[in-house]
Amino acid sequence: MTETLIGLVSQYSPSGQERGAVEWLVARMKALGYADAFIDGAGNAVGVIGSGPRQVVLLGHIDTVPGEIPVTLTPDPSPTGRGELLYGRGSVDAKGPLACFTDAVAQVGAIDGWQFVVIGAVEEERDSDGARFVVDKYRPDFAIIGEPNRWDRVSLGYKGSAWADITVKRGQAHTASGEQTAAEAAVEAWLAVKAFAENFNAGKTRAFDKILPTLRGMESGQDEFEQWAKLKVGVRLPVEMNPGQWYQELENTLKVFETFRVLVERVGYAVPAWSCEKNSQLVRAIISGIRSQGGTPSFVYKTGTADLNIVAPVWQCPAVVYGPGDSALDHTPDEHISLGEYARAVEVLAAALRKLVTPSA
């Protein structure tokens, strides 16, 4: 059962260098009996089983952050350990979930009236180019997104994100004038952004419901006539505030700097937060699958973003995020996954898919 996982993790594939891993996964899907397996126009690996009018899309990502980790197997030392631990970049984030999708769908096979589509998307760790490509290509009845949340947990939400450069400019002044510098005003601008977030967050207990701004960088400079300072600001957004609202609040908050020119420049792709429906047929099927393996299901809402944020607002179907692995190990030099946990997750997902498409099962 672990051949797919070990083989996929062995294909080092940081964002922009996924081709080898994609080709390997397509070949693996064919070997597992997928009716069709191919590389799509964005470079995603796609495998299809079944041809019915109803569709389940299982969307994982095949790229990783940079930093190759030697692929090794070691005994699991934990008291509840089952089997071995697999070390390697992407074993958790998120080749573990993607391999789980691949194996579980192969185990279920074709079901009358249904089509399973497994996608290993590229570029998730950067601009989600793979997910942005497929969002208009499919209209599933159910969507499962692959991210590590442990085998016995279901994630029901991911925060949104937005990025901006805030530049403060003013005319030159003598250093002995006592006038506020552009750099000093930029510090005040950041404190104003933080104060807005703190006011918004008052009374909210869950991080998922809060605005979480971060100062990612700062630089300053000057020429003969002007001085300037630039802040690189990121924010994790709750469902209550979409990126457009955030940018407007940012503009309003910084209007108070009347003696300075303050420019807010949107950077990259902004994505809204998304919260999944908890009482859906899909969630109930995965809960049933977890219980079938002796687990006690639990739910989690994450403070990061995922391809869920890209596809769920468009597909508008029941969706969840599922996958084995400890997300605390994401991007770390110690990234590893328990083969025992992986095997359980495959069984959970296979049982969930059977129940989902054949409710009497």
Q: What sections of 242-317 are H helices per DSSP? A: 243-254, 281-292, 308-315
* Among 5, 336, 354, 326, CA closest to 153: 326
| Residue from 124, 125, 141, 341 carrying the catalytic annotation | 124
240 is catalytic: no
Convert 140-161 to b/e letters by CB count within 10 Å (16 or more is b). bbbbbbbbbbbbbbbbbbbbbb
Q: What is the DSSP string of 140-170?
A: -SEEEEE--SEEEEEEEEE-EEEEEEEEEEE
Quote the radius of gyration of the chain (alpha carbons, Å): 23
Give the catalytic positions in this structure: 63, 124
